[in-house]
Amino acid sequence: MIAMLGLVVHPRRELDGALETLRRWSSGHGVDVVQVPAAGQDRTVAQPGDPADCDVIVALGGDGTTLAALRTGAAAGTPVMGAACGSLGALTAVTADGLEGALDRLARGDWTPRTLPALMVESDGSPPRTGVNDVVVIRDGAGQVSAEVSVDGELYVRYAGDGLVVATPLGSSAYTLAAGGPVLAPGGSGLVFSPLSPHGGCCPPLVAGAESRLAVELEPGHGGARIEIDGQIQERVEPHARRSLTVELRSGHATLVMLGGEEPLLAALRRRRVIIDSPRMLARDDREAAADPAC
């Protein structure tokens, strides 16, 4: 049973068809629709509402919109369903064309919760912040930042470079992957640390355990640094202002609606050509296809 449905929407993408479907369905089922606050989402399509009063939050857009909705939903304990207005991503459960059927299933309770961990980030005694995907420390101007990274009290590496990324298993397929870090396959757990453009030395990415605590001693250098969580700037660190950060994994932080039949993560990365076979393998496929008389 759904009495109130929350919305988070992409700020620019074409959503008219999806919004019309949602409004028609909610009107026919006596469901109130409100728009809940989410970082970076300033487009208004409904009256504002409290996410804690919603039975479910629907994110219309893509993975970025769903990620913003998950942050809002996690704080209120409200599950989130991502609806792709475009191609399916890693977090969206349904395309806009299938939205009406998905809403019917939500109303029947015919869905499966997928609980997602989050990073708990503390910085010099400030209140903890959480991120579903990643925390990024990156230089904010000319010059490099220096970092000393320890895991469970043991020094791992010291280096200078552009910064670092620490990700959840979900976030390992986002910025971490772009930075050359490892992807944790479904079922994997732990923290993933990846340096950004380290200058010399040997500084490989690292996968730490789900119970591990990662500590970073940061020296921003001449240009200062930014601390970003899930793509949103949280803090700017002034030049030469040392900063200590700790990052841990918190289980069961957010809930994502699953409807069954979702595309596996690795298949989705290949379909979207985020992961591509080597040219040697692709050339061999072309040769075999050319030699096949059935082609």
pLDDT in tens, 209-219: 999 999 999 99
Residue 263's pLDDT band (boundaries 50, 70, 90)?
confident
Enumerate the CATH 2.60.200.30 domain ranges in the chain, comma separated: 118-251
- Residue 243, classed as helix, strand or coil, is strand
- Kindly state the tokens that stand for 47: 């009256």
- Pairing type for strands 32-35 and 56-61 reads unpaired
Active-site choice (16, 53, 63, 104): 63
The model's pTM: 0.89
- For the stretch 79-111, pLDDT in tens is 999 999 877 778 888 999 999 999 999 999 999
118-251 has which fold? Tumour Suppressor Smad4 (2.60.200)
- The neighbour count for residue 251, using CB atoms within 10 Å, is 11
Is 63 a known active-site residue? yes
Give the containing element (helix H, strand E) for 156. strand 154-161
Burial state string for 48-73 with b = 16 or more CB within 10 A and e = fewer than 16: ebebeebbbbbbbbbbbbbbbbbbbb
Domain range 4-111+259-281, CATH class: alpha beta
Q: What are the residue ranges of CATH 3.40.50.10330 in the chain?
A: 4-111+259-281
